[in-house]
A and B are shown apart, each in its own frame.
Chain A
Amino acid sequence: DVKVTQSSRYLVKRTGEKVFLECVQDMDHENMFWYRQDPGLGLRLIYFSYDVKMKEKGDIPEGYSVSREKKERFSLILESASTNQTSMYLCASSDRLGGDTQYFGPGTRLTVL
Chain B
Amino acid sequence: GNSVTQMEGPVTLSEEAFLTINCTYTATGYPSLFWYVQYPGEGLQLLLKATKADDKGSNKGFEATYRKETTSFHLEKGSVQVSDSAVYFCALSDLTGGFKTIFGAGTRLFVKA
Q: Do A and B come from one complex?
A: no
Q: A interface vs B, CB < 8 Å? A: none
Q: B interface vs A, CB < 8 Å? A: none
